[in-house]
Each structure stands twice: as structure tokens, then as C-alpha cells.
Amino acid sequence: MKIKAYGTLRLDAPRKIAVVLCALAPAMPAFAATTAATATATVAATPAASLHPGCGSFPAAKGDDATAALQKMMDACSASGGGRVSLSAGRYLIGPIRLASGVDLHLEKGAVLEAQPDHALYKSAYINWAFQPDEALISAVGVHDVAITGEGEIDGRGDTWWPEASADRKAGNPKTIAAGMPATNGLPRPWLIETYQARGITISGVHIKRAPMWNLVLRYTDDAQISNISIDNPIDAPNTDGIDLVAARNIVVSNSDISTGDDDIAIKSGLAGSKLPSQASENIDIDNIRIRQGHGLSVGSETLFGVRNVNATHISFDGTDNGIRIKSGRDRGNDLDNFRFSHVTMHNVKTAISVSSYYPKITEGDDPAQKITATTPFISNVTIEDLKATGITTAGLIAGLPEAPLTNISLKDVNIDAQKPLVVRNAGLSNSNVEIKAGGKALDLQKGANVTQPHIEAG
């Protein structure tokens, strides 16, 4: 396909085509694309819409179900070479749809894609299952070079799903367990947006809200750029992770605002019992993110296939349960290696730093070493620098297993004003210019703690 391009596109792995936009529609604002190996590059690529029949403006919303018509238009646009399918202001009711290669689904300001509330239209999604049709409102499966752009809104109508999930949690998760899932997963429900075995993904500018469960899920996806989006769910909306990267590679998340009822960003790879391919999540760049309510920026807990090479910078947390969190456990681990968190601010966060091989909670008292298995987590090479945190309840927890201590954990230029100290157990920790104000006690050194520079200013 011939493409008339404006601007430049620089990626680790070049795409066959750039994001395609129709010349008949207004030009998309340029957005910053940061890659794992390079700084930033500005991209805006546009082919002529008239060259590709089927692309262009979708008929104005009339309140009817738009699922079939929208799917037909995206498929036709892709078959003719790709382009933009644009939705003007209005409310579009849809059931599950699938994005097609080469298509930019563009939501203009005031356009709302709203999920049909009929639960019979959907299937439940689960991290250990291969993709099933209808497990997400919007899916991109086995495709390349697709986009969701614009200033419009995607509304998953999670308010029709949350009450049952909340009731199951309150009752001890009997329905979740009966479905063959761990209680920590929550009652199975559909996800809102999912990419699976896809590459060349751009999601930019849109507002995402009220997901039934996870909001934006990238599974077995390579080369994706998520920028300038917002995700908003109530704090009591169960299991509504903001962005989940699962066995995903070469991903950039930037310039976004997330507030939700579970992990705001979670980097995962798999859970015990998975029959999916063994693939680590790796080469993840996260830059300039505002995180409000939720459980914070997490690696894990589902880390069966490993996670490595994560760089997060210029992150602000306000009112989250956790700030920086790396979590795994004896039943779900692998190698978790090479993490850097820098230029971080936190305010009113319950736990500022948590790096732990004890999920869901640390074992109290003596915990004898156990036999190393295929799922033993080994967490290493974690650097946290230039962090300032105020109004913190607990400074943090850095805890490895006796059979697999944490190695090379480094704190640099860290200032935490907390009520409780930083607990260190079965971990090698170095520090430079660290001050923790926690009632006069900065550190609680427990069994297996190896702090190479043990003096931390108590404040």
C-alpha cells in the first residue's frame, strides 16, 4: 500500500505501515512516541482516504445498536488497504467488535462508544486463557498497525457488572473459586479493550471509563504506544486494573492519567497452570504518568514467565494504596530483573515502596527456606532514585524469600515522610542519600537483611 507520510516514525522494529489516517478527516495532533532504545519521535502519517473505499466517516449516531455496521466498515476499510474510520460526536451502542489491520478507529470529541449492557453478549476473560471471541468490548487479535485515537470516550458500563463481583468478594469469592480461578483474580468478567498476538498498536487521546474488569489489556503484544489517555473507574470498582501488560514487549506508556479500583498499571506474564507460550514481559517504558486512586504501579503478581527491563520515570502518585510495587510469590515466580524507577513523587500513599516475594502477604514470624522450584521468584537489580514522598503510612517493605533473597536493590536520593519504617528481610540493599522520617526509626532490619550502607538518616 502506498502511503503519503508527513513527519517521522522511529521504532525499535519498523512497522510495515504507519498509523493510517484519512485526508478527508482533520489531521491527528502529533504525539510523542518514546521507545525503549531511543528518546522521542513525532509521528503523524496520513494516506488519502479516497484511495481506500470503506474508510471515512461512520454514519452519525442514532441510538441504535451500531455493532454490525461499525464492524463491517472497519473490515472493508482494512480490506481496501487501511485508513481511518471516524466517529463524530454522539452515543454509539455496541457489543463486542474486533479491530482490523491498518485501521485507525478515531473517536472525535463528544463521541462515546458505549457497551451494550446485555451480559449475554460477552464471555469472561482470564489471564491464563487464550483469547476467546467476545471476551472484550474492543479486541485486536492477530492484527498489525491498528490504532484507537481521538478525544472521544469508551464506556464499558462496568456499573452493571460490579455489584455481583463485589458481593462475591464480600462472601469470600465462592463464585470465583468455583470458576477455577484464584480468589485474588476476582469474579470472571469481560475486559474492556484487549490486544492479543498483535503488533504495531497505537492508543492515543481517548478517555476510558467504567470497565467491567480490566480496562486496557495488552497480551502477547509487540510494539505498542499508549499516550495521552485517561482511565477512570470508582475506587470501589472491583478488579478494574487500568493498564495490564501481559507477556508484552517493547511497550511505551506516556503522558496519561489513571484512577481506578485496582492496579493502575500492572506488568505481568502468566499464572501457574497457564498453557500459553512462555514469554516474559520486557522492554517497558513508562513516562509522565499521573496515578491517583488505585493500587499503584505494579510488577506482578502473575510473573510465571518473568518480567525484565522496565524503566518508569516522572510518575506521580496521589492517594493510592501503594506507590512502587513489585510482587510475586512461590507459586507464580520466575526471574524479575532490571527495574528502574526515577523522578517519583508521592502524597497520601499507604505504602511507598513494596518489593516482595510474598504474595498476597508476607509470612509472619520465622519462615524456613523451602525447596527452589520452577515458580520460585528471583527479584534482582531494582533501582529507585529521586523519590520524594509525603503523608505516607508505611515507608515500605523489601522482602525476599530465605531460599531466594532479593539482590542488588538500590535506593538513591530518596526522601520519605512516613509513620512506619522501611522493613527489610532476606534482601541485599544499598542506599545513597536516603532519609526516612518514621517516628525516629528509619529501618526495621529483619532476618536476612544485608544493608551495605546501613545508615539511613532517620529524620
CB 190 within 8 A of CB 246: no
Reference 84, options 137, 126, 26; nearest CA is 26
Contacts with 82 (C-beta within 8 Å, 6 or more apart), sequence order? 1, 17, 20, 47, 52, 55, 101, 102, 103, 145
At residue 345, the pLDDT reads 98
Provide the pLDDT for residue 5.
Answer: 28
- Establish whether the linkage from the previous residue to 212 is cis, with ω within 30° of 0: no
In sequence order, the 6+-apart residues with CB closer than 8 A to the CB of 230 are 207, 208, 256, 257, 258
Q: What is the pLDDT of residue 63?
A: 83
Average confidence score pLDDT of the chain: 89
> What does the CA dihedral 15, 16, 17, 18 come to, rounded to 10 degrees?
10
Distance CA 201, CA 50 (A): 24
In the numeric block, the cell 508505611 is attached to: 394
What pLDDT score was predicted for residue 53? Answer: 73
Cut 0.85: pTM above it: yes
The per-residue pLDDT for 196 is: 98
Cβ neighbors of 271 (< 8 A, separation 6 or more) are 127, 128, 182, 302, 304, 332
Confidence (pLDDT) at 17: 35
Whole-angstrom Cα distance, residue 154 to residue 208?
Answer: 5
* Residue 236 three-state SS: coil
Contacts of 56 (CB under 8 A, 6+ apart): 22, 24, 25, 49, 83, 84, 85, 86
Q: Residue 454: its pLDDT value, please? A: 57
- Looking at residue 62, its pLDDT comes to 86
Domains of the chain: 22-30+129-320 (2.160.20.10)
pLDDT truncated to tens, each residue of the chain (459 aa)?
332 222 222 233 333 333 333 333 333 333 333 333 333 332 233 333 334 778 999 999 888 999 999 999 999 999 999 999 999 999 999 999 999 999 999 999 999 999 999 999 999 999 999 999 999 999 999 999 999 999 999 999 999 999 999 999 999 999 999 999 999 999 999 999 999 999 999 999 999 999 999 999 999 999 999 999 999 999 999 999 999 999 999 999 999 999 999 999 999 999 999 999 999 999 999 999 999 999 999 999 999 999 999 999 999 999 999 999 999 999 999 999 999 999 999 999 999 999 999 999 999 888 999 999 999 999 999 999 999 999 999 999 999 999 999 999 999 999 999 999 999 999 999 999 999 999 888 999 999 999 987 557 666
Task: Please tell me the number of Cα atoms within 13 Å of 259 on its side-chain side.
Answer: 11
What local confidence, expressed as pLDDT, does residue 459 receive? 64
Place of cell 471476551: 135
Phi-psi region of 453 (alpha: psi -120 to 50; beta: other; left: phi over 0): beta
Percent of the chain with pLDDT over 90: 84
pLDDT digit string, tens, across residues 316-352 = 999 999 999 999 999 999 999 999 999 999 999 999 9
Q: Beta strand pairing status for 406-425 and 443-445?
A: parallel
Q: What are the start-end ranges of the E strands in 274-350? A: 281-291, 297-299, 307-318, 322-327, 335-347
Helix (H, G, I), strand (E, B) or coil at 170: helix
pLDDT of residue 441: 87
* Per-residue pLDDT, 3: 29
